[in-house]
Structure 1
Amino acid sequence: MKPLTLIRSSSALRVAPVALLLVFAYYATDLGDDLLADPLGYSATVVDAVLRNLLPVAFAVASGLAAWEARKLGVSEIWRLGAVRSRYTIAAQHLSPVVSLAWLLLILPTLCALVQEQVAPDLPGLTLLAFGLVLCVAHAIVGFAVGAAIRHIAVVPIIAVTDFLAVGSATGLEIPWPRHLTGLFAGKMMFGELPTPAALAAPLLLAVGTACAMALLWAPVSRWLRGAIAGTLVFACALGSFSLVSDWSYIGPRSTGHGTTSCAGQSPRICLPETHAEHISALAEEAEATLKTLRRAGLSAEPTSLTDTSLSLRYPEPSTEDDWTVPLVVGEATGTVRYQIAREAVRFECFPPATGPARQVYYWVSSKVGQADTYLKRLSSEPDFTAQERSRLQDQVGEVLQLSRAQQMDWYETTVAEACEEDGNTT
């Protein structure tokens, strides 16, 4: 059949306007909330937001229309042309428009989201998109197999709705493992993150394995033999997928370090997402000035590197004496870079330190870098930080600031030690 004739006769052409309209209506409303967060130039964050919202829709369209096409072929007895063309060739031809429509439901919104967020596609984002496209093919094959076996018209809405609900509702179950088999990744894909190979393989193994098993049912061999092979394949793939995800938590395993970063400077070396690289020189100058101020105050503030916290949000790297993890991007946006660096200069031997002494130390070090008001603003969100507590803190630390440098350091060391001699709370 000629391509244009195939497209004109396909149910995908008739459904396409409605499906695309619904998808873009959803994109303009609910999906917008997931795109509010800054992706930091990382396309996987944007692609994941689209897939988490639209994969159930694409799967339902793929399986439902595939079932319709199979039913149509069964009614018209085209399957009997097997002597001229194999069933696989016939199925592939009639599935191609359906799969193309399902792909458009994912590709077009993804492109719109990338343009909207001004993020260029990169390998992690394309990996996630390709993952979704492969799953669409698998769902279409399964839908086609069901439609070929059950020719009643009711099978079309039933398989479409079932597919949509099974995938979309899995993330709301109390048991975590079903969500990891749907292809929907719970939790936002943060900067530099990507599902591990196992997290990608689990849903692919189940979906692609089931699709291959369904395709085996059309093989020109004994019905009992192909049925046995198909059943064994489905069971093996389901068991293998379950064994991969059975002990995972609600958010599956993810690898990190896939985002593009930019680093500059030597002492310290500043590293942050490349999308904020234009600010790196100013940040390096401000960081160097802040560290000099802290050293003049008597603190040991000589880190070799300052790494932005956005590079490891889900699995944060704790600061060490040489390598500090600091919210530089947030600090640059809010004008609190000096405060963020000053907090990292404070080292308690326990966690959490006692509230009273810790607040005094943080207020003192914030005052040293000229951002005492920033810390007071942060404390204002604490329910126990009343106006009376604010005045007491300012008076206590104000007296310390009048002392000599040596006396202030003696007070600092004593107060830091006191913070770990009491039961800690929030600071």
Structure 2
Amino acid sequence: MTLFRKLSRSPAVWVAPLFWFFVWDLASSEKRFADPYYGVSTTGAALYPIFAIVSVSAACGAWEGGRLRRGQVWQSSPVRQRIIVAVDALGPVFLVGFLSLAVSCLATTGNLANIFDTGSLVMLLFAAVLISLYALIGFAIGCLIPSFIAVPVSLIGSYLWMGIPGSLEIMWLRHLTGQLTDIPGIGQRISYEALLAPVLLTASLALSILVLIALRTRMHFRVTISILIAFSGIGGSYSIVSDWGPQTPLEKEKLTGVCIKDNGILSCLPREYSSHLPIFEETAHQVVEDLQVFGIARPDKVEYEILSSESDGVTWKVFSYPGQPTEEMISEISRGAFSLDGNCEIDRAGDGARKSAIYAWLALTAGADSQYIGYLYEPEAVSIAQNIRSLSTPEQTEWYTAQISHYAHCSAS
């Protein structure tokens, strides 16, 4: 049968255009939670519609299996190997499933070139394997029972399995479905174990069903092997996720920094944010100049907070991103002048208010708008900072020195 004939006879192709609109809408709704400059993040958002893609793939696979069942192909004298027949029948289903994944990626990235990094490709491979396994399970069900039962069972069963565990209190169960519950931010990736667990479970179930219907041996032997495979997969996948919480585990991904050096200050951002570097460098230089008047040490480097580059001099760790409003950028860069490590005590009386006042004063001194700062910090902290700003430069410097002396045990700049 020619490829055109196969495609024209497959229900997967019939439903594809309408289904792709649905996938596009789902992925687009998730796009706002992803970092548009980080491929792993946009790919994570693109995997959100996986519950719909695998459900439709399973239903279409069941239809193809039912078609072969009605034609009594498995009872006929074999001309080709059974696996060849199955793959040939499932070809259009695989094609539509993979194209649905591509549509989802286009909806979140706008450019498929953005997904060709290691983290993204691993996630896409995971999704492609999951789509194939669900199509195979649906196909096996279609070979066992009539299509009018197999198709809705495969569609609804897959949909419920992907959706219901996420609403249950059994935390580990949701991690076996393949429906990820978190989107990586910049400098993060989905844990490879989180991708392995659902694939291991689904593959074991698919293989157990295939053993049950395809092996030409005694029924009790087939049932025994099938049960062993299924329970091995269930046990193995459970051992991976048994102690996990509600969120998909994320791991750190090393970022490559790009830098500009001007007037002795090195300004660095992740490579993904390189388009933002010129305005970031210009703003950082201005903030440093404004704060230096009040005796705040000039840094050797101002860099994005999770970059792990080494420096012998003073480094300000800051948060910035492309499209960041100027007032926010000024505020975030100024915070870098007073950075504390994770061992700093923050539960003493008045400690939180003191830090807020310091941060508000730094931002106002660096040129941030007072109205914007009022949105960031408590009114009392902003009022203190504004009152201090009305003092002379030596008095402000004395106040700042006195305030940061309370954090001498911390790594304050």
Cα drift, residue 189 of structure 1 = 2.3
Q: Per the alignment, do residues 68 and 398 of structure 1 end up closer, same or farther by CA in structure 2, a change over 3 Å counting?
A: closer
TM-score (norm 1): 0.82
1:135-174 correspondence to structure 2 within 5 Å: 135-151=130-146, 153-174=148-169
Work out whether 1:21 is the aligned partner of 2:9. Answer: no
Work out whether 1:263 is the aligned partner of 2:259. Answer: yes
Q: Per the alignment, do residues 126 and 141 of structure 1 end up closer, same or farther by CA in structure 2, a change over 3 Å counting?
A: same
Q: Percent identity?
A: 25
- Residue by residue, what CA displacement relative to the aligned partner does 1:318-375 show, whole Å, maximum 9, x if unpaired? xx9844321122785334433322222125653256244334433433343233x34x
Q: In 1, are the aligned partners of 2:55 and 2:159 still within 8 Å (CA)?
A: yes
Q: Per the alignment, do residues 167 and 258 of structure 1 end up closer, same or farther by CA in structure 2, a change over 3 Å counting?
A: farther
Cα drift, residue 230 of structure 1 = 1.8
User: 1:47 aligns to what?
Assistant: 43
1:312-327 correspondence to structure 2 within 5 Å: 322-327=314-319
The residue identity in structure 2 corresponding to 1:176 is: M
User: 1:414 aligns to what?
Assistant: 402
Among 210, 215, 218, which residue is 1:222 paired with?
218
- Residue by residue, what CA displacement relative to the aligned partner does 1:284-331 show, whole Å, maximum 9, x if unpaired? 34323433443442223435452256x69xxxx9xx984432112278
User: 1:232 aligns to what?
Assistant: 228
Q: CA RMSD in A?
A: 3.3
The residue identity in structure 2 corresponding to 1:413 is: T
- Residue by residue, what CA displacement relative to the aligned partner does 1:361-418 show, whole Å, maximum 9, x if unpaired? 33433343233x34x5233465x627xx8656533x145x3153xx544332323346
Q: In 1, are the aligned partners of 2:54 and 2:97 still within 8 Å (CA)?
A: yes
The residue identity in structure 1 corresponding to 2:68 is: L
Work out whether 1:291 is the aligned partner of 2:288. Answer: yes
Q: In 1, are the aligned partners of 2:305 and 2:318 still within 8 Å (CA)?
A: yes
Q: Per the alignment, do residues 85 and 393 of structure 1 end up closer, same or farther by CA in structure 2, a change over 3 Å counting?
A: closer
User: 2:392 aligns to what?
Assistant: 402
Cα drift, residue 60 of structure 1 = 1.3
Q: In 2, are the aligned partners of 1:63 and 1:160 still within 8 Å (CA)?
A: yes
The residue identity in structure 1 corresponding to 2:404 is: V
Taking the aligned partners of 1:92 and 1:213, their CA distance within structure 2 comes to: 18
Cα drift, residue 248 of structure 1 = 0.9
Q: Per the alignment, do residues 206 and 277 of structure 1 end up closer, same or farther by CA in structure 2, a change over 3 Å counting?
A: same
Taking the aligned partners of 2:197 and 2:189, their CA distance within structure 1 comes to: 14
Alignment length (residue pairs): 401
Q: Per the alignment, do residues 259 and 78 of structure 1 end up closer, same or farther by CA in structure 2, a change over 3 Å counting?
A: farther
Cα drift, residue 76 of structure 1 = 1.7
Taking the aligned partners of 2:20 and 2:163, their CA distance within structure 1 comes to: 15
Q: Per the alignment, do residues 79 and 114 of structure 1 end up closer, same or farther by CA in structure 2, a change over 3 Å counting?
A: same
Work out whether 1:9 is the aligned partner of 2:9. Answer: yes
Q: Per the alignment, do residues 88 and 398 of structure 1 end up closer, same or farther by CA in structure 2, a change over 3 Å counting?
A: closer
Q: Per the alignment, do residues 264 and 220 of structure 1 end up closer, same or farther by CA in structure 2, a change over 3 Å counting?
A: farther
Taking the aligned partners of 1:252 and 1:261, their CA distance within structure 2 comes to: 27
Q: Per the alignment, do residues 142 and 260 of structure 1 end up closer, same or farther by CA in structure 2, a change over 3 Å counting?
A: farther
Taking the aligned partners of 1:25 and 1:13, their CA distance within structure 2 comes to: 15
- Residue by residue, what CA displacement relative to the aligned partner does 1:101-154 show, whole Å, maximum 9, x if unpaired? 222222223234322799464332232222111101111111112222223622
Cα drift, residue 279 of structure 1 = 3.3
Unaligned runs of 5+ in 1: 421-427
User: 2:97 aligns to what?
Assistant: 102
Taking the aligned partners of 2:84 and 2:224, their CA distance within structure 1 comes to: 23
- Answer with 275-284 or 178-187: which moved more: 275-284
Taking the aligned partners of 1:149 and 1:225, their CA distance within structure 2 comes to: 18
Unaligned runs of 5+ in 2: 409-413
Taking the aligned partners of 1:82 and 1:255, their CA distance within structure 2 comes to: 52
User: 1:194 aligns to what?
Assistant: 189
Work out whether 1:241 is the aligned partner of 2:233. Answer: no
Taking the aligned partners of 1:3 and 1:331, their CA distance within structure 2 comes to: 47
Cα drift, residue 204 of structure 1 = 1.0
Among 297, 300, 306, which residue is 2:297 paired with?
300
Q: In 2, are the aligned partners of 1:356 and 1:419 still within 8 Å (CA)?
A: no
SS, match of residue 345 in structure 1: helix
TM-score (norm 2): 0.84
User: 1:385 aligns to what?
Assistant: 379
Taking the aligned partners of 2:7 and 2:385, their CA distance within structure 1 comes to: 74
Taking the aligned partners of 1:160 and 1:44, their CA distance within structure 2 comes to: 29
Q: In 1, are the aligned partners of 2:290 and 2:366 still within 8 Å (CA)?
A: yes
SS, match of residue 411 in structure 1: helix
